[in-house]
Structure 1
């Protein structure tokens, strides 16, 4: 068995590693460029909604929070807020967020589609018409870990602005648009988490990162090895 020709072994290893990680390096560069160029406030969709005014509530005639909390065993939070301009108690419980009329203490049901459209219009900063309002019971990728149900209200526009509204409290849950969706897709490619798009330390990313590191090391070795070879050829 002959001696191992290390330069040839390293060169071939470097080539195959480069073929393996080359596409991902291009994706890292392209997606990183997008995430740097497009401002994060634009990605978040802050321009899609109006600035929230300071909330002021008259507490006269409001039922005590303890009384509505007692109606839901295991309640963890009671908060006074508005639903379509009316003061309500928002109670967080094991079954989710529940609304109570702040004046009567009566439990409130879900918003109707007309109510949801009104709420979405009050949040939206643009002037486009509502294209559709859909109550969703299946989880959506762009809503992350937030569990349904929720209302999806889409407005007319090139960037497909979309607001998600809580069906019980009328709160704005999320705002999405085309640039956010492109960012989300780019983020998925960047961190190589093709399912949840949240794990920045997944096995596939670690393999690609260490492979890129190995490619750099083998390339550096080949570069250093090439200098003495060139000097010997010059002497001859």
Structure 2
């Protein structure tokens, strides 16, 4: 093996190791955080119950008339009717071919979506402990960027931030009366490290990006060059090769 080849290999391995080593560190830190974390806490499930609280209901004549009038009004067939618990109020969620509407069982009024107060009440009814609300924001497409923590969520949405050390924000889609996402500081750290892990610095979800592919190839070259250096510099291997020649 030529001295020149060994020098080139050593130099290549050294600079590859320096360049890729920082990303190796990010991958390692991220892997440790992911594997040692409580995913229930990341998903906000230790603070609130995200599952729907539906109920069985009995039709009375007025409710039946309202549903019939709703179907007759624009000729859209009703696909399903579900009872949704929103704190003290009970709503019927009526899913039709092109939209969702609600019937308030208290006053029998038809509404297009949950109000701000109803969205807050929905969240508070799902909390395991009584918490105050820090602020409420109404989000549309204008407020959502590629790196926003609610990216990919159904819009519009109410962002309801709780007064809690975890800085938890609960997102409610008022058109379907569903909690769509829960974000807290643990999730935000997880998301940042995941961004570094997959090397997608915009959407943070695209794992097949070219930056990750290139760094993965460079990482493989670093490992292979290290194995090659071990092969050409190991006294054990040299002794073994000498014995084979004999």
- TM-score bucket of the superposed structures, by smaller chain: 0.7 to 0.9
For residues 8-27 of structure 1, give each alpha carbon's deviation from its aligned partner in whole angstroms, at most 9, with x where no partner exists: 11111111211221100000
Question: d(CA) in 2 for partners of 1:223 and 1:66?
Answer: 80
Is 2:162 the counterpart of 1:155? yes
Question: d(CA) in 2 for partners of 1:183 and 1:173?
Answer: 18
Q: 2:83 aligns with which of 78, 81, 84?
A: 81
The 10-residue stretch of structure 1 (205-214 or 109-118) with the greater mean CA deviation from structure 2: 109-118
What residue in structure 2 maps to residue 28 of structure 1? 27
What residue in structure 2 maps to residue 7 of structure 1? 6
Is 2:61 the counterpart of 1:56? no
Report the CA distance between 1:183 and its aligned residue: 0.8
Question: d(CA) in 2 for partners of 1:230 and 1:54?
Answer: 70
What residue in structure 2 maps to residue 223 of structure 1? 230
2:125 counterpart SS class: helix
What residue in structure 2 maps to residue 38 of structure 1? 37
Question: d(CA) in 1 for partners of 2:133 and 2:118?
Answer: 13
TM-score between the two structures when normalised by the length of structure 1: 0.81
Contact conserved, 2:153 with 2:181, CA < 8 A, in 1? no
Contact conserved, 2:154 with 2:180, CA < 8 A, in 1? no
Please, which runs of 5 or more residues in structure 1 have no aligned partner? none
Contact conserved, 1:83 with 1:170, CA < 8 A, in 2? no
Question: d(CA) in 2 for partners of 1:93 and 1:139?
Answer: 27
Contact conserved, 2:55 with 2:85, CA < 8 A, in 1? no
Change (3 A) 1:172 1:69: farther
TM-score between the two structures when normalised by the length of structure 2: 0.78
Is 2:113 the counterpart of 1:114? no
Contact conserved, 1:165 with 1:172, CA < 8 A, in 2? yes
Please, which runs of 5 or more residues in structure 2 have no aligned partner? 240-246
Question: d(CA) in 2 for partners of 1:154 and 1:80?
Answer: 27
RMSD over equivalenced CA pairs, Å: 3.2
5 Å-filtered alignment, 1:133-144, equals 133-137=136-140, 138-139=143-144, 141-144=148-151
Report the CA distance between 1:170 and its aligned residue: 2.8
